[in-house]
Homo-oligomer: A and B are copies of this chain.
Amino acid sequence: MSVLKGAAVIGQSGGPTSVINASALGCIKTALANENITNVYAAEYGILGILHDRLFDCGKEDPAELDLMKFTPASALGSCRYKLKDPDEDDTDYRRILEIFKKYNIRYFFYNGGNDSMDTCNKVSKYMMKVGYECRIMGIPKTIDNDLIGTDHCPGYASAAKYIATSIAEISRDAHVYETGTIIVFEIMGRNAGWLTAAAALADVCGEGPDLIYLPEITFDMDRFLKEVTEVYEKQKYCIVAVSEGVKDKDGRFISEYGSDLATNTKDVFGHSQMGGLAATLVQYIKNYNGAKTRGIEFSLLQRCAAHCASLTDIEESYASGKAAVECALDGITDKMVGFERPEEGAYECRIKLIDLTAVANAEKTIPRDWINEAGNRMLQPFYDYALPLIQGFPVIPTENGMPRYPRLKKVFANEQ
């Protein structure tokens, strides 16, 4: 394998997670330590940082500050949601990227994100091959949705899962402190894949798991839902329900859109129709059906950035994925995403594998049907076996004055030098 000398750039893209910076740190530190990598740049706001020539020099950061990235939520480098066009239709962006790559002699490109980001990574990779610019390009996965194909699981999923399970356990305890009960509906992220919503079931470990779970993998039926919730509620005087934001009815309509049914023909004073979230809509349906005391709770952004409740396993694996991306690239590998696999039998262990970028871009992995009970409202043992090893371990988070200590990056930009 020929040695490739040049600069490296890393970018983050898509919605952040609690641990995306651990991945970036694994990448940055490994790159900084290698003599063939002349400079390590971070692209501000993902691919936009390259398009706008906004690259800051990681070598100019205080290493102790960089190290804090391991425990810091959100994208420390800045993120974007920018979709590159098909280069056959419009190659403007690609020519600009090539120009910047040449300007800084960038020979290593690492892109840290989910499905859409792997699409970007894949397109850049294929373009550079096409024009014959030697550059090793690796995707570093992240997504709380856990829906990237080819990998056993995704960095970021386990921490979000742990936060959701822990919070549901706590609220579930709260829900049955009174003699008179309540029905709580949790709305959890995941438009097409129910991995995060399924994680609610892990609250079973402390005896506080949800009574009912509704995933986007299973067609949602409002009448059946109302009956199932009411049945549990009448039996035990409370009912805890976890619902994915992505649940759809048999006609493929999102249940979250039912909120506009509730407010049919209604406009606010500004002329806009009002619409609540899914949890708000469902508790309204429940209240109207059985008159119970209800509460809808939306985890909202909390679920993707609650680093204070991260999984240590997730942090370490995320770091390892960033590190592996650089090591593989130095070994001559390109056009791949780093993924994970585990032994089919025996104790859990996380091993690095590589997946073709072409295969992973824009594809989605959902929960196997046989991990869900027949009624489609509970998780079965294979899910617990799959997910529990991922949420193990509690990080010791660096703190200052009772609060997390986040990195203070200098961000010395290359184009300002």
How many angstroms from the CA of A276 to the CA of B388 in the assembled complex? Answer: 36
Q: Establish whether residues A206 and B400, one from each chain, have CB atoms under 8 Å apart when the complex forms.
A: yes
Q: Within 8 Å of chain B (Cβ to Cβ): is A173?
A: yes
Distance, CA A48 to CA B79, complexed state (A): 54
- In the complex formed, the residue of B with least CB distance to A203 is B403
Q: How far is the CA of A72 from the CA of B305 in the complex (A)?
A: 23
Alpha-carbon separation in the docked complex, A75 to B173 (Å): 8
Quote the shortest CB–CB distance from A178 to chain B (angstroms): 6
Question: Contacting A205 at CB < 8 Å: which of B261, B262, B394, B403?
Answer: B403
Interface check A224, CB cutoff 8 A: no
The answer, yes or no, to whether A391 is at the interface (CB within 8 Å) is yes
Is B272 touching A263 in the complex (CB atoms < 8 A)?
no
Which one of B45, B169, B268, B302 contacts A404 once the chains associate, using CB atoms below 8 Å? B169
* Distance A270 CA – B298 CA, assembled complex (angstroms): 24
Q: Is A402 an interface residue (CB 8 A)?
A: yes
A18 to chain B, nearest CB (A): 8
B interface footprint on A255-299 (CB within 8 Å = 1, 0 otherwise): 000000111111111101010100010001000100000010110
Contacting residues, chain B, for A276 (C-beta < 8 A): 274, 276, 280
Interface contact B263-A166, CB-CB below 8 Å: no
- Among A57-65, A91-99, A132-140, A306-314, which stretch is in contact with chain B? A306-314
Q: List 11 A-B contacts (CB under 8 A).
A: A80-B178, A162-B403, A167-B302, A167-B308, A170-B308, A264-B268, A265-B266, A274-B284, A297-B300, A392-B401, A392-B402
